Amino acid sequence: MNAALRETLTPARRACGSLSVRVMGEVCVLRCSGALWLPVHGTLVAGDLHLEKGSAYAARGQMLPPYDSRATLDRLEAELAELKPDRVVLLGDSFHDSRSIGRMAPDDRARLDRLAEDRDWIWLEGNHDRDALGAERVNAAAFAAGDFERLVGLPGRVVPELSVGALYLTHEPETQARPGEVAGHLHPCARVVAHARMVRRACFVTDGRRLILPAFGAFTGGLNVLDPAVAGLFAERPMVAALGRDRVHALGWDSLV
Amino acid sequence: MTTLPPLFADWFARRGWSPRRHQLEMIAAAQAGSHALLVAPTGGGKTLAGFLPSLIDLAERGPRPEFGPGSGIHTLYVSPLKALTTDVERNLMTPIREIGLNIHVESRTGDTKQSKKQRQRDNPPDILLTTPEQLALFCAWGGARAYFADLKCIVLDEVHAIWSGKRGDLLNLALGRLQSFSPGLRRVALSATIDDPNLIAEWLAPGGRSEDVAMVRGDPGAAPEIDVLVSEGRVPWAGHTGQHAIPEVYAAIQRAQLALIFVNTRWQSEFVFQQLWAINDDNLPIGLHHGSLAAEQRRKVEAAMARGDLRAVVCTSTLDLGIDWGDVDLVIQMAAPKGSSRLVQRIGRANHRLDEPSRALMVPASRFELLECQAAREAVADNAFDWEPRHTGTLDTLAQHVMGVACSEPFDMADLYAEIAGSSPYRALTWEAFEEVVDFVATGGYALRTYDRFARIVRNADGKWTVRNQQIAQRHRMNVGAIVAAGTLNVRVASRRGGASKQLIGGRKVGEAEEWYFEQLSPGDTFVFAGQVWAFQGISGMDALVTHATGKDPKIPSWGGAQFPLGTSLAVRVRRMIQDRDHWRVLPPDVQEWLELQEQRSLIPDADSLLVETFPRGSRHFLIAYPFEGRIAHSTLCMLLTRRLDRLGVGPLGFVVTDYSLAIWSIRPMDALDWDALFQPDMLGDDLEAWLEESFMMKRTFRNCALVSGLIERRQPGAEKTGRQVTFSTDLIYDVLRRHQPDHLLLRTARADAASGLLDVARLGQLLTRIVGRIRHAPLERASPFSVPVLVMIGRERVGGDAADMILEASAQDLIDEVMEDAPPELQGAA
């Protein structure tokens, strides 16, 4: 890692336990919740909510608890209450499958509307929810008017990708990324062993040029950052920021297993 | 007195045998149409006694009709071990062939080929040998009712090993099902000697009416000859490997034809195996047998034993049950046996003839273990066995059974409730609890009722419950069973690829081992596996990657001592032995001196009181207590005590436990505590509840319940969900469910399981009640003789790396010197 990058990556601890780093010069606050806060732009970013994952399994005969959407929205609501962002960007795979929106409990669905009120609410498409969001966009009148972003039932708008300052927000990280790429999709997690115990936590991964967010959803599993699918995206050893109970821990690459 | 039919009497005579009393009594029970429980020691012709009534009945029946009544299975045999069915099939074929009976016997396990299973369905054998899991599968099959309509008898072998757990619950529910298919079905169970056979009779009987079961007791065999090995007249202060006695163990092997060396953990078996080969100057064929070795390797060792090619096998409980693999003439128990029942089982491996005494040698690894070995020897002589509590059926297994029934045929709720309430472990099941289980099976049982449209079982036009579709039924059948294997990893030899990705590539598979073991290793740690030293490199997917280690000294972490905690009856005996000064005379001199020194320096507690010592050591303050209730109950007690000590401002820093004692150390002194208040039984209320919620053990337990109940599927068509993935997702589910529906059926089941199994709360409760007003506190200036074993454990927890053993040894000697300082000269030799 070159000296300039190391400089920008030296994390600053915030009072709330979050870590602050710079990616392409932009201040990025890595939150304990797993969300990314861009204070300069008043923008909150969360990846891979996978809403209604529990009911997706139930529909196929495995009765996982139906409380995952509620748990995920609880955490999102807490972040909105604390940070009061002007803009919320969900990095794709916000819904687990194409029928997730229809399966949401009325309470949860209504809460989504409430959370999106009075702010710019942006959905990026992911591989899991392209169809779900696509179905929402079949709106002939809006289509005719050239307004491709409006949705039928959901609040907010859908965009394929989004630039925020020097950052470029998308769902799936590219092998040859544009500088400033912020992506989700991989659900990275880090494993360390200490005091004869293994600890595994969802994590952020960044080398100062690009940033990968952990999954925000309550039932989402993870992929070890040492897996080539994650590690292979970085030419140099990135920094890993693992989510603790009330703080984010910066981990050295060598301490991972 | 019943006599054998001529055909059978002739066969016995030709073999030079006469029928044993218990074999005739089993035939008499069959003639009376009664259920029967045979309790007999190993080597008494127990299995034959179980089958004789069926063989006689089948011999009298003559040729079997091709179809219609009487064309189905006559007798079903169920054993807890797959390997046992093969063994029994072989042994059963001998009389059938030699008498010339026309009886068709087949076995069916998870390993049986699909084509054979299909044939067994189309053309059932007279006698089918199978496992509880296969039986549960039968119950979930559409043709079950017709298939078992002719069933006359079911024989449950080694029932003592299975009745009091979830597999026993499932088996008992299946018994109820079979009884409804064939109301005249006779239930027969075979058990090793246990403390209270009436509990098993109660378990076996329909409706728990033990008076309906004929109790048959085998004659006791010749009393075993049990020796305790005292190496060069000395017993080590602490330790649990028995390393000091290896040369004498080797000498005992040299004198025997075939010795079985039992240890309590598989890692201990690796260690003892290594140590024996290190001094194996005669190149004796010594083998290794434990559950982590690749199956082919185990089969090889078993075959070599049966051929008489081996002189000794180091093994774990994998060889506990009644498989007869050769003429074992000596059983060596390394380290303490932990329970008298297990000891008797293991000793039974030596000499399968009832009239000759079995020979056994116990090798205590420490002074407390010597007391335990002595207690075990006396318990065996007194025919005293470990006490087991009555078992209540768990709801996760019931959910699996209900789903199975729905897959088999539509059920009426009231009828099924009556059937299940007739199953002994579920006698106390209320209608409301049953309704809740059915709701759980249908929709997961969530307060937020959003899954009704996805229900797995639905009511048909007659109001009966049936599985929604065949895909769901098929997936259920793939996941039947109550044994949830710990997540295992393949151990593979790895090579390292260059570059920043740290990518390792797995090669040849050496065996399999539990995931938790590797979780506590760091890359570079060395350990012994399958008789060789390896360096751990990392985990990749389902593989633990290892390389050959160059150094000769493995770290072998996770010594952890025994898997089994000290049994209740031995614990009582050890406590009494310590209190009874006359009893000390049977002990080796150095152990007597150790007890005397303890009396001078501290206290010798009464059998019913609890000794608590406090003393400063280094910069810390120590509390040592001696409950003798086993590691599990001690760990739970320490967890709860440290919470209380924390609230009292003592600043507890850590704790360790052994089977005999526990140690807690802290920043501030603990001499002036109110002991009765500290050990108040009310700690099992809120303190336990609060701690449980945070405990990672709860997540493990919850995972098991989720798998058994069918909430999570291990296997899905096409892809097997790995243990690793299951662990991870159930943790998330546990967190979410706990927050949003804390009284959910599975959470309640998991809490009850943790309390009974992992935490031994019942035993801890008995301890706390016993010691109210009986705590004897000894404030000391320094460590007491009794405290050495547990204090040495603390050393073990701290050190790591290759030098661990050296440091350990050195620190143990320092401690002993410290304890012995100022001791009267005649006692100095005790160190």
Q: Which residues pair with B299 in a beta bridge?
A: none
Q: With respect to residue B515, please indicate whether it lies within any of the assigned structural domains.
A: yes
In a domain, B329, yes or no: yes
**How many domains, chain B?**
3
Is residue B301 exposed (0-12), middle (13-18) or buried (19+ Cβ within 10 Å)? buried
Q: Which residues pair with B721 in a beta bridge?
A: none
Could you count the other beta carbons within 10 Å of the beta carbon of residue B680?
15
Alpha-carbon distance of B720 to B717, in angstroms, equals: 8
Return the biggest CA–CA distance within chain A: 63
The candidate with the shortest Cα–Cα distance to B542, out of B707, B709, B719, is B719
The two three-digit tokens of residue B36, written as one number: 């029967």
The verdict on B539 touching A (C-beta cutoff 8 Å) is yes
Q: B271 and B124 in one domain?
A: no
Put simply, whether A68 touches B (Cβ < 8 Å) is yes
Q: Are residues B119 and B184 in the same domain?
A: yes
Confidence of residue A255 (pLDDT cuts 50, 70, 90): confident
Decide the pairing of beta strands B286-289 and B312-315.
parallel
- Tokens 């740290």 belong to B502
Kindly determine whether residue B736 and residue A200, on different chains, have CB atoms separated by under 8 Å: no
Predicted local distance difference test score (pLDDT) of residue B723: 41
Pick the residue of A1, A51, A67 with the most B CBs within 10 A to test the interface with B by mutation.
Answer: A67
Same domain, B177 and B288: no
Written as one letter, the residue type at A95 is F
Residue B174 sits in the same domain as residue B96: yes
Distance from CA of A118 to the nearest CA of B (A): 29
Are B203 and B247 members of one domain? no
Domain count, chain A: 1
Q: Which two tokens stand for residue B759?
A: 């935490």
Q: Which amino acid is at B450?
A: T
The reply to whether B239 and B337 lie within a common domain is yes
Whether residue B169 is found in the same domain as residue B238: no
Structure tokens at A131: 């169809």
3-class DSSP assignment, residue B229: coil
- Between residues A121 and A14, which one has the greater pLDDT? A121
Segments of B101-174 assigned E as strands: 105-108, 127-130, 153-156
| B729:A70 CB<8 A | no
pLDDT of residue A166: 95
Which residues does A6 contact at the CB level (< 8 Å), separation at least 6?
none
Mark which of B217, B246, B265 sits at the end of a domain.
B217
Query: Chain A closest CA to B788's CA: distance in Å?
Result: 24
Strand, coil or helix: what is B532? Answer: strand
Whether residue B465 is contained in a domain is answered as no
Question: What are A81-133's pLDDT values in tens digits?
Answer: 999 999 999 999 999 998 898 899 999 999 999 999 999 999 999 888 888 88
Helices (H), chain A: 3-9, 53-59, 68-83, 100-103, 106-116, 130-136, 140-144, 228-231
Instruction: Count CB neighbours of B552 within 10 A.
Output: 10
β pairing state of A167-169 and A181-183:
parallel
Distance between CA atoms of residues B673 and B624, nearest Å: 13
B97 at interface of A, judged by CB pairs closer than 8 A: no
**Which helix H or strand E contains B396, and what residues bound it?**
helix B395-408
| CA B108 to the chain's CA centroid | 24
Q: Tell me the ipTM for this assembly.
A: 0.83
* Domain match, B328 and B275 both: yes
Q: What is the pLDDT of residue B720?
A: 45
Contact A116, A44 (CB under 8 A): no
Q: How far is B713 from chain A (nearest CA, A)?
A: 7
The parent domain of residue B21 ranges over 6-217
Contact between A198 and B739 using a beta-carbon 8 Å cutoff: no
Q: How far apart are CA B485 and CA B700, in angstroms?
A: 12
Angle at alpha carbon of residue B167, lines to B422 and B542, rounded to 5°: 150
**Residue A138 Cα to chain centre, angstroms:** 26
Per DSSP (E only), the strands in B84-146 are 105-108, 127-130
Residue reference for tokens 């059915």: B438
What residue has token string 């495995």? Answer: A62
Interface-testing mutation among B453, B496, B737, B798, with chain A (most A C-beta atoms within 10 A): B737
Domain span at residue A216 reads 3-255
Tell me which residue in A65, A221, A235 faces B737 most closely, judged by beta carbons: A65
> CA-CA distance, B681 to B644, in Å (whole number)?
12
Q: Are B175 and B273 contained in the same domain?
A: no
8 Å CB contact of A63 and B740: no
Interface test with A, best of B502, B514, B713, B798 (most A CBs within 10 A): B502
- Dihedral class, residue B584 (left if φ above 0, else alpha if ψ from -120 to 50, else beta): alpha
**B490 and B543 in contact (C-beta within 8 Å)?**
yes
**Domain-ending residue, one of B201, B217, B233:** B217
Would you call A66 and B454 a contact, using CB atoms and an 8 Å cutoff?
Answer: no
- Is B115 within 8 Å of chain A by CB? no
Are B312 and B371 members of one domain?
Answer: yes
**Parallel, antiparallel, or unpaired for β B465-467 and B457-459?**
antiparallel
**Least Cα separation, residue A231 to chain B (angstroms):** 6
Same domain, B95 and B196: yes
Beta strands in B541-627 (DSSP E): 543-548, 610-617, 620-625
Residue A210 above 90 pLDDT?
yes
For B420, other C-beta atoms within 10 Å of its C-beta total 23
Instruction: Decide if B629 contacts B567 (C-beta within 8 A).
Output: no
The angle at the Cα of A73, spanning A71 to A78, to the nearest 5 degrees, equals 100
Do strands A36-38 and B213-217 pair parallel, antiparallel, or not at all (unpaired)? Answer: unpaired
Sorted by sequence, the CB contacts under 8 Å of residue B182 that are 6+ apart come out as B148, B149, B150, B151, B152
For residue B125, the model assigns a pLDDT of 94
Residue B559 lies in a domain: no
Domain end position, chosen among B506, B531, B548: B548
Dist CA B543 CA B541 (whole Å): 6
Query: What are the φ/ψ torsions at residue B773 (nearest 5 degrees)?
Result: 75, 5
What is each CA distance from B334 to B84, B314, B361, B508, in whole angstroms? 25, 10, 8, 32
Residues B117 and B15 in one domain: yes
CA dist B642 and B633 (Å) reads 14
How do beta strands B504-514 and A19-23 pair? unpaired
Q: In this structure, how many other beta carbons lie within 10 angstroms of the beta carbon of residue B786?
A: 27
B740 touches A: beta carbon within 8 Å: yes
User: Distance (Å, rounded) from C-alpha A24 to C-alpha A18?
Assistant: 19
Residue in chain A nearest B451 by alpha carbon: A58
Q: Does B823 touch chain A (CB under 8 A)?
A: no
Is A252 exposed, middle or buried (CB count within 10 Å of its CB: 0-12, 13-18, 19+)? exposed
Output the domain CATH number for residue B142. Answer: 3.40.50.300
* Chain A residues within 8 A of B407 when measuring between CB atoms: none
- What is the rounded CA–CA span in Å between residue B622 and residue B619? 10
Is the distance from CB of B363 to CB of B240 less than 8 angstroms? no
Q: How far apart are CA A153 and CA B639, in angstroms?
A: 52
User: Whole-angstrom Cα distance, residue A220 to residue A218?
Assistant: 6
Amino acid making up residue B196: D
Contacts of B360 (CB under 8 A, 6+ apart): B224, B225, B226, B227, B330, B331, B332, B333, B343, B346, B347, B350
Q: What is the DSSP string of B343-376?
A: HHHHHTTS---TTS--EEEEE-SSHHHHHHHHHH
Among all residues of chain B, which has the CA nearest to that of A232? B501
* The pair of three-digit structure tokens given for residue B233, joined into one six-digit string: 């007249």
Non-local (6+) Cβ contacts of B70 within 8 A are: B61, B64, B150
pLDDT of residue B249: 94
Local mean pLDDT, 10-residue blocks, chain B (831 residues):
88 91 95 94 80 94 76 92 80 91 90 87 93 91 92 94 88 96 96 87 94 91 84 76 88 92 82 90 90 75 85 82 71 84 78 72 90 90 78 93 96 97 95 96 91 92 94 87 63 67 68 65 70 75 77 48 68 92 91 92 91 91 93 83 86 82 89 92 81 70 87 65 50 87 92 77 87 94 90 54 34 55 49 36
Suggest the residue from A49, A64, A175, A239 to mutate for an interface test with chain B (most B CBs closer than 10 A).
Answer: A64
Residue B17 contacts A where some CB pair is shorter than 8 Å: no
Name the residue of chain A whose CA is nearest to B518's CA: A198
Q: Do A63 and B451 touch (CB under 8 A)?
A: yes
- From B610's Cα to the closest Cα of chain A, the distance in A is 32
Residue B387: exposed, middle, or buried by beta-carbon count in 10 A (0-12, 13-18, 19+)?
middle
Residue B807 DSSP SS3: helix
Judge residue B458's burial from the number of C-beta atoms within 10 Å of its C-beta, 0-12 exposed, 13-18 middle, 19 or more buried.
middle
- Give the pLDDT score at A219: 86
Q: Mark residue B145 as left, alpha or beta (left: phi above 0; alpha: psi -120 to 50; beta: remaining).
A: alpha
